[in-house]
């Protein structure tokens, strides 16, 4: 069936063998799906060919970066998987970078003194394409916002196989929609000069109320990261039996000045997801709530013994649930989240995991975008809606 496509893309860049299908059947969400074919495009023409082919044969295409997504966005469902990792060329020119989607964030950020300051915990492996598609945030979102804030221009191939160049407001038609409106094939990103000064203060609290009070009263003019680690998680990474706020400054204000010490604390924080997941808490959520009401959510999580850490400065936290008990508790949590005007996803995306909890306005928006850019539903079919 794929003979024609093999001719253009090259047999060595496609596979239907059992081993490849198994390796591509999931992502970091650990939701299992089924890959039909894996394609490793090298050029945007390869991507275009694959989409046009899928459209003609009523197949569906799942773009994939590093597969670190936690909502199952890259999990195939009898799909053609487009692994974008071989499209990984980039060029940095001072405070701008032209990148292909498979570029790994840490590779881009180690190229020069200019960096993309959006740093998810998966920075060592995650790709720019995946970050754009999920509108990733991360450790320094408090100061630097989300991925959408750093895109000058995008080139995407939509569900009809058409190449589109977008700037300004239209970037939001693709950024954050998890590959269901178009496949990112190139981007021009804004960079900043690597900050030379970083210090940190680690604040400890026995209970939630004084912590939230302190959070609200904090002078944040030079704060670059503001992270929360609850008691259970703090114990796991050796911080002790207290709730912690990790406050990073791009000034002299922090108590910890030694670069190595800072790095050690960030490494502990980076390791939390894997450590907690290994304890059986494999379902990672990412609600975003307004700071003025975050204590209500934190108290609910504490009452239900749900391990939690996250980017509290922007109201995004990561409660972790055990798979067998998750459904009832997750539903209850989202009721609390919605009551305090929060949203079900702050950074991981909807994918397969959060489909049942999606707000109506979100559903309406994706339906409209699908109608415009992917009327045949070729891209990431069955995700989000």
Ligand X SMILES: Cc1cc2nc3c(=O)[nH]c(=O)nc-3n(C[C@H](O)[C@H](O)[C@H](O)COP(=O)(O)OP(=O)(O)OC[C@H]3O[C@@H](n4cnc5c(N)ncnc54)[C@H](O)[C@@H]3O)c2cc1C
Tokens, residue 101: 């989607």
Q: Which among 344, 371, 384 has a CA at the least distance from the CA of 159? A: 371
For the purposes of burial, counting CB atoms within 10 Å of the CB of 362, is it exposed (0-12), middle (13-18) or buried (19 or more)?
middle
Helix (H, G, I), strand (E, B) or coil at 39: strand
Q: Shortest approach of ligand X to residue 206 CB, angstroms?
A: 27
Q: Which does 278 bind (CB under 5 to 8 A by kind): ligand X, another protein, none?
A: another protein
Q: Is 114 near another protein (CB under 8 A)?
A: no
Q: Shortest approach of another protein to residue 296 CB, angstroms?
A: 30
Q: Which does 282 bind (CB under 5 to 8 A by kind): ligand X, another protein, none?
A: another protein
Q: Is 340 near another protein (CB under 8 A)?
A: no
Candidates 24-32, 108-116, 348-356, 363-371; binding stretch for another protein (CB under 8 A): 24-32
Q: Which does 330 bind (CB under 5 to 8 A by kind): another protein, ligand X, none?
A: none
Q: Which does 1 bind (CB under 5 to 8 A by kind): another protein, ligand X, none?
A: none
Which residues of the chain form contacts with ligand X (CB under 6 A)?
27-28, 62-70, 73-74, 84, 101, 120-122, 126-127, 129-131, 133-134, 136-138, 178-179, 183-184, 273, 347-348, 351, 380
Q: Which does 19 bind (CB under 5 to 8 A by kind): another protein, ligand X, none?
A: another protein
For the purposes of burial, counting CB atoms within 10 Å of the CB of 276, is it exposed (0-12), middle (13-18) or buried (19 or more)?
buried
Q: Is 275 near another protein (CB under 8 A)?
A: yes
Q: Tell me the number of residues near another protein by CB under 8 A.
A: 34
For the purposes of burial, counting CB atoms within 10 Å of the CB of 241, is it exposed (0-12), middle (13-18) or buried (19 or more)?
exposed
Q: Is 266 near another protein (CB under 8 A)?
A: no
- Beta-bridge partners for 379: 61
- 61 contacts 53 by C-beta, under 8 angstroms: no
Q: Shortest approach of ligand X to residue 72 CB, angstroms?
A: 8
Q: Shortest approach of another protein to residue 134 CB, angstroms?
A: 14
Tokens, residue 231: 């008691």
Candidates 202-210, 224-232, 268-276, 300-308; binding stretch for another protein (CB under 8 A): 268-276
Q: Which among 45, 52, 33 has a CA at the least distance from the CA of 374? A: 52
Q: Shortest approach of another protein to residue 320 CB, angstroms?
A: 11
Contacts of 94 (CB under 8 A, 6+ apart): 114, 191
Q: Produce one character per residue of 297-334: b if its CB has 16 or more CB atoms within 10 Å, e if not.
A: bbebbbeeebbbbbbbbbbbbbbbbeeeebeebbeebb
Residues 200-259 that bind another protein (CB under 8 A): none
Q: Is 1 near another protein (CB under 8 A)?
A: no
Cα dist. 57→14, 44, 48, 52, 152 in Å? 17, 20, 14, 9, 34
Q: For binding to another protein (CB under 8 A), which residues are involved?
A: 18-20, 22-28, 30, 40, 66-68, 83, 85-86, 88, 102, 104, 106, 122, 124-125, 270-275, 277-278, 282
């Amino acid at each position: 069936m794929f003979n024609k496509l093999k001719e253009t893309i090259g047999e060595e860049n496609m596979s239907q063998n059992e081993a490849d299908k198994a390796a591509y059947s999931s992502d970091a969400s650990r939701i299992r799906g089924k890959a039909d074919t894996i394609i490793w495009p090298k050029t945007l023409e390869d991507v275009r060919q694959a989409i046009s082919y899928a459209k003609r044969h009523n197949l569906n295409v799942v773009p994939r970066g590093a597969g670190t997504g936690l909502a199952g966005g890259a999990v195939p469902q009898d799909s053609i998987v487009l692994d974008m990792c071989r499209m990984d060329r980039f060029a940095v020119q001072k405070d701008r970078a032209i990148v292909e989607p498979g570029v790994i964030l840490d590779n881009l950020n180690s190229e020069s003194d200019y960096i993309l300051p959006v740093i998810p915990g998966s920075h060592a492996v995650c790709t720019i394409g995946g970050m754009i598609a999920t509108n990733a945030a991360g450790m320094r979102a408090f100061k630097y916002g989300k991925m959408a804030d750093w895109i000058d221009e995008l080139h995407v191939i939509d569900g009809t196989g058409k190449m589109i160049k977008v700037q300004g407001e239209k970037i939001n038609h693709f950024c954050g929609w998890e590959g269901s409106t178009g496949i990112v094939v190139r981007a021009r990103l804004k960079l900043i000069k690597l900050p030379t000064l970083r210090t940190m203060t680690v604040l400890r609290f026995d209970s939630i109320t004084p912590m939230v009070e302190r959070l609200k009263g904090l002078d944040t003019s030079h704060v670059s990261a503001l992270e929360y680690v609850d008691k259970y998680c703090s114990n796991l990474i050796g911080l002790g039996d207290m709730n912690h706020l990790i406050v990073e400054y791009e000034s002299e204000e922090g108590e910890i000045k030694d670069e190595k010490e800072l790095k050690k604390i960030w490494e502990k924080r980076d390791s939390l997801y894997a450590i907690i997941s290994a304890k059986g808490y494999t379902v990672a959520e990412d609600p975003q709530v307004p700071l003025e009401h975050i204590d209500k959510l934190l108290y609910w999580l504490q009452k239900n013994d749900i391990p939690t850490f996250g980017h509290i400065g922007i109201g995004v936290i990561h409660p972790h649930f055990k798979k067998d008990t998750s459904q009832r508790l997750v539903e209850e949590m989202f009721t609390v989240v919605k009551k305090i005007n929060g949203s079900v996803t702050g950074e991981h995306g909807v994918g397969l995991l959060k489909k049942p909890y999606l707000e109506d306005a979100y559903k309406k928006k994706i339906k409209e975008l699908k109608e415009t850019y992917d009327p045949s539903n070729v891209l990431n079919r069955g995700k989000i809606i």
